[in-house]
Structure 1
């Protein structure tokens, strides 16, 4: 079992194309950079049809996803009053070894490795980076939260 988990963790290490700038909180995704100063219009011009609305809680809170074909993540981008407030990194289902092999513990460990490669859990002047686990939904993700 331990060897399976270590293989999964190795498989999920972030690509060199996803990097966090710890000084300003911007995240490099392949050849593009988004961060606390990004506006929705900026993301539309950069990601085009790869940016899709997921849901709106209330009129001023909207969540979109960025799903790039050559990336190992789906990124959730949360806007409050048209200001980017959160970026979430979700491992794509295609990276899973199948639902029969899935378990919450291996997903937590894989995401913990992603978090470590982004610099670990930390607080900065611009916000924080942390690992979140939702026991009811049974998933983990890495979140970049802006002030």
Structure 2
């Protein structure tokens, strides 16, 4: 399944009150500018595609953080990155978490990967952001 299909299936399970709203292009553009200003990289295209359908995903242990506060999420992508870069590892920018897995981009190596919370070993590398988002969404859907 595609990123869009997975996001739709995962968010349609939520009642209308809890379902994260799709974001408009202007909101996505502003969030990408803010992310670049705060963390040194723009939001990847695959994450922007998620935002066009839902501002975040919470399903089967997977959290893809939203750009705006929402009742079902503990943090926004900005808060999650500030916290994780401060307390865990500042080499990465973070896009999702599933249990003890973190889905990250490492700007110095231009590499998307999945790492473990414990010990930080890279256990999966991806060719690009689309492959990483497809993997994390697919893993949560199973």
TM superposition score normalised by structure 2? 0.30
TM superposition score normalised by structure 1? 0.29
- Compare the two structures and name the one with the higher helix fraction: 2
Larger radius of gyration: 1
